[in-house]
Amino acid sequence: MSLVQAGDKLHDLVYSIAGNEHKDILTLFFNWKKIVGNILSDRASIHKLEHNVLFIAVSNNVWMQELILRKSKIIADIDLILKIKLDDIVIFLKDAQFRYKKPKPKRR
């Protein structure tokens, strides 16, 4: 069996385990690099797909701005290439929930 066939079998296995409910998110995961390119795919990752809204986590504000500028093209490419209809894309910083630290209590 060649590597391509093994890769196809792996994709088929993942799709069968996940079921039809998660087909769109898996298709996005497997094709993310094709949609946004090598550099951006390394710095922005798919977080979830909920109610036709794709949530993407980015490593910093620079990549957030890049995705915001390309958002409409990404939505159009996903529709054209993957046949998945998105209403919107929400972009957020990966570590945003951990950025705020409680101040330490002052010692007396």
Q: pLDDT tens digits for 3-49? A: 567 777 887 888 788 788 889 999 999 999 999 999 999 999 999 99
SS3 107: coil
Is the pLDDT at 100 greater than 70? The verdict is no
Residue 10: closest CA among 30, 25, 31, 28 = 30
Confidence at residue 83, expressed as pLDDT on a 0 to 100 scale: 96
Set out the domains of the chain in order of their start, with CATH numbers.
22-96 (3.30.300.180)
- Percentage of the chain modeled with pLDDT above 90: 65
When mean pLDDT is compared across 21-25, 43-47, 52-56, 67-71, the lowest value belongs to 21-25
